[in-house]
Chain A
Amino acid sequence: MGPETRAMQDDETTNPALFSLLDGEALWKRAEGASAVACAGCHGDGRESMQGVATRYPRVVGGKLMNLEQRINACRVERQKAAPIPYESKELLALTAYVGRQSRGLPIAIEADATNQRYIDAGRVRFERRQGQLNLACAQCHDENWGKSLAGTPIPQAHPTGYPLYRLEWQSLGSLERRLRNCMIGVRAEPYTYGAPEMVELELYLMWRARGMKLETPAVRP
């Protein structure tokens, strides 16, 4: 990420994800579903109650590994009695970005313990396994060749510190899963579907790798 992109990200008035944050705040306060209750109805002011929440996801909730999007949708289905919001829709990205924003600047706090160790291990296996027609593992670029450039773009170390983020190439906000699917298509592998357990395990492994780094949600990337 160049200095111009970082400047764009750090200035609230030029970060194009600003609009999604405002949309997310409006959704947070809107009563939904058969229960006719808003997120704010239980959680109050998201700016306070959601502080630090995004630093702990994906995590195991009720025996199931969930990322933040899935947690929001689970709450919608169970508490609001509303239909889940589709993955990668503007609404889900906006809500996730709004929740994520409240943890901006806080260190990612994923800790390996008895509940999530096996998922981290599964994610690591997937990260290190060769896949696709190009027969490349994630690790071959992001562990062995980070810092070098791929077609003029620097290869990062796969620290997902800013999702959901505004990618200038996408011209919109996108989730970590969308980014992972991008990479999988790039190595000519069949990408996992949105919300697949394999995908969430990979997300958890990457967030665990990035533990201690500060969350930048919503970030801006080229």
Chain B
Amino acid sequence: MARVAVTVPASAKRGEIIEIRTLAQHAMENGFRHTQTGELIPRDIITQFSCSYNGVEVFRAELHPALAANPLITFTTVASESGTLEFKWTGDNGYVATHSAKITVA
């Protein structure tokens, strides 16, 4: 099971800059390592992360083999209206993880 952890403030003032922290459980096998018997370990990483706010994409990142396991992505956005933040991670071997969080903007 793909576990993720997302921290979003439950409420914010309109126009306030909010910090969003996301952590995804993934080994991020970079595809350059070999086993003890010399076989190449195939690449298995998260390749893309995106966040949409009420259906509008506000953040996207492409991930590459140099990234650490369990990637922690922190970014900010402006709290414009109450609604839902949708997070999506996609990667090699059909990896997909999604999460959604609600925010109330006063």
Q: Which residues does A use to contact B, with CB under 8 Å?
A: 8, 13-14, 16, 18-19, 22-23, 168, 171-172
Contacts A16-B70, A18-B23 known; list 15 others, CB within 8 Å.
A13-B7, A14-B21, A14-B23, A14-B72, A16-B23, A16-B69, A16-B72, A18-B5, A19-B3, A19-B70, A22-B3, A23-B3, A171-B68, A171-B70, A172-B69
Main secondary structure of the interface of B (DSSP, over half): loop
Query: What residues on A are CB-neighbors of B68 within 8 Å?
Result: 168, 171
Instruction: Give Cα A49–Cα B69 distance, bound, in whole angstroms.
Output: 32
Cβ of B25 under 8 Å from chain A: yes
Instruction: Give Cα A13–Cα B72 distance, bound, in whole angstroms.
Output: 10
Query: What residues on A are CB-neighbors of B70 within 8 Å?
Result: 16, 19, 171
Instruction: Give Cα A171–Cα B69 distance, bound, in whole angstroms.
Output: 6
Q: Which residues does B use to contact A, with CB under 8 Å?
A: 3, 5, 7, 21, 23, 25, 27-28, 68-70, 72
Q: What are 9 A-B contacts defined by CB distance under 8 Å? A: A13-B5, A13-B7, A13-B23, A14-B23, A19-B3, A22-B3, A171-B68, A171-B69, A172-B69
With A168-B68, A171-B69, A172-B69 in contact, do A13 and B21 touch (Cβ < 8 Å)? yes
Shortest CB distance B95–A (Å): 15
Shortest CB distance B33–A (Å): 11
Shortest CB distance A171–B (Å): 4
Instruction: Give Cα A171–Cα B7 distance, bound, in whole angstroms.
Output: 22
Query: What residues on A are CB-neighbors of B23 within 8 Å?
Result: 13-14, 16, 18-19
Query: What residues on A are CB-neighbors of B3 within 8 Å?
Result: 19, 22-23
Shortest Cβ distance from A12 into B: residue: B5
Instruction: Give Cα A23–Cα B70 distance, bound, in whole angstroms.
Output: 14
Shortest CB distance B69–A (Å): 4
